Amino acid sequence: MASSTSLLLPTAAAAARRSPSGHRAPPSAVLSPPRRLATLRCLGYARRRAQARHVVACASAASAGSLDALIFDCDGVILESEHLHRQAYNDAFAHFGVSCEPASAAATDAPLYWDEAFYDDLQNRIGGGKPKMRWYFGENGWPTSKIFETPPSSDSDKEKLVDIIQDWKTERYKEILKSGTVKPRPGVLRLMDEVKGAGIKLAVCSAATKSSVIMCLENLIGLERFNGLDCFLAGDDVKLKKPDPSIYITAAEKLGVQSQNCLVVEDSVIGLQAAKGAGMSCIITYTPSTANQDFSDAIATYPDLSNVGLEDLKLLLQKSLVTG
């Protein structure tokens, strides 16, 4: 009788393999207590190793992402300058009688004039003064002027026209900067001093003509800060303008730092694209003319640098690398 009963009842091992609901129990449940303990210890050890690897990876990324160089754009970042450039261009067009009107309308002597809305759109799509004019004249016809009575047709004459207008415009822009009415944007000088005081490299990279950028920096940040820059590059120093990343790639080489350890301060999507193309993180300090642009690739956006400190930038860069 006892033997028949044993045939009908499940063994202890079989019972252990099934949960109360009748489903098969997990493997750890069928192990003997010593083996189960050993298995749980192994699982716990594996989890701890995975967590440790994650912590080490994050720490390594944060270390690799230390802030070694802060790079400022000039126009729109150190100063709100686009309205000043627009004024200088329009003064140049008037000075040389530049007109893209058809011949039948040329008698009005109305010079080319870039209004605020048009220039905001233009400067946010095309970096550099000469490329702006080349694009505009290419789209609207090469102009008549005091330089060439008839529209230039050869490439050499077209370049001569652009060069002459740009040179005069640059001198006019310098005059405006020397007037003493232009001030740096909030927080710029303080942040520059913090960076230099911390032994971090400081640079300025602008798409504008070198002579005009030098004039701007000497008047707005002062000779001492300007001479203390670890790197200064202008549009003349590279073949391709922003959004091409050449200027920022060149800056990293001159500074002797890795691109991932550089942080760029820009004000427009053109500059943002140039920084990202160079493998650099970028923060945006937008202006009224760039506020509506898509800055989703920036690691932070600010109306200005009033409340931005060096420690904020270090944390932003480290977080960007770890999460990225």
At residue 100, φ and ψ (nearest 5 deg) are -100, 10
Q: Which of 73, 120, 244, 267 is catalytic?
A: 73
What strands lie across the sheet with 262-266, from one edge to the other? Answer: 231-233, 201-205, 69-72, 262-266, 281-285, 300-302
Letter for the amino acid at 44?
G
* Sign of the CA dihedral running 189, 190, 194, 200: negative
Give the Cα separation of 267 and 291 in Å (integer): 9
- Extended strands (E) in the chain: 69-72, 201-205, 231-233, 262-266, 281-285, 300-302
- Strand 231-233 relative to strand 201-205, pairing: parallel
Terminal C-alpha separation, the chain: 72
Positive/negative CA dihedral, 182, 187, 189, 192:
negative
Residue 168 CA to residue 208 CA, distance in Å, equals 14
Catalytic residue among 68, 75, 120, 244: 75
Q: Is 73 considered catalytic here?
A: yes
- Return the active site residues: 73, 75
